[in-house]
Amino acid sequence: MIIREATAADLGVLSAAGLEAMNWTGEARFTYEQFMSTPELSHYLDGWPRAGDFGVVAETAEGTPVGAAWCRTFAVDDAGYGFVATDIPELTIGVLAGNRGTGVGTALMEGLIGQGSTRGLRGISLSVEDGNRARLLYERLGFRKVGRNGGSDTLLLELLTSPILAVE
């Protein structure tokens, strides 16, 4: 597996990964059309990439995308589900069906956390719904609960204290 920086050409991969993230239960809770036409969901990708956006894509050795993760900051009046502050980007991650449980999510998260650290960010946030097994990955990487929004927790990774960055 190869982890590479996401580019403007990766909007399709990010869209597919975002849809997987929204449908994490395995049920088709959202269609692609619903995902892209619902403002509180589509704002995670509208205009990708805009200033400050960054991300990573996981591919097979043959170049087939298997997942993506990216970060985007939001204004207070357009906050995402995992919003913490205007200077803390919110993370979205999705691993395509058939590739979960193979280390893709961990590799994506480590790549994204590394990018955030290189950019000098103080943290990265995300939202995780109750029952989502990915929460175990987030907590293992140092994310901690800082809020609640409906049936989801808002988690924050403080980059200066991230266990992933302390390991050399």
pLDDT in tens, 49-94: 999 999 999 998 899 899 999 999 988 988 888 899 999 999 999 9
Structure tokens at 27: 């049920």
Which pLDDT does position 125 carry in this prediction? 95
- The pairing of beta strand 152-158 with beta strand 144-149: antiparallel
Mean pLDDT in residue range 130-158 = 92
Report in angstroms the alpha-carbon separations of 121 from 11, 18, 117, 132, 162. 24, 23, 6, 26, 12
Which pLDDT does position 161 carry in this prediction? 57
Which pLDDT does position 82 carry in this prediction? 87
Mean pLDDT in residue range 12-39 = 81
Percent of the chain with pLDDT over 90: 50
User: HSE of 29 in the Cβ direction (CA atoms, 13 Å)?
Assistant: 10
Contact between 103 and 2 under an 8 Å Cβ cutoff? The reply is: no
Least confident of 6-20, 59-73, 134-148, 150-164: 150-164
The answer to whether residue 167 scores a pLDDT higher than 50 is no
Tell me which residue of 145, 106, 108 sits closest to 128, measured CA to CA: 145
Which pLDDT does position 168 carry in this prediction? 41
Higher-pLDDT residue of 163, 31:
31
DSSP secondary structure, 25-41, as one string: TSS--S-HHHHHHSHHH
The answer to whether residue 163 scores a pLDDT higher than 70 is no
pLDDT in tens, 117-131: 999 999 999 999 998
Listing from the earlier edge strand, what are the strands of the sheet with 90-95?
2-5, 54-59, 65-72, 90-95, 123-129, 152-158, 144-149
| Residue 137 confidence class, pLDDT cut points 50, 70, 90 | very high
**Cα separation of 46 and 160, whole Å?**
30
For the chain, how many residues are written?
A: 168
Least confident of 31-35, 97-101, 143-147: 97-101
Q: Give the domains, in start order, of the chain with CATH numbers.
A: 2-158 (3.40.630.30)
Q: Considering the entire predicted model, what is its pTM?
A: 0.86
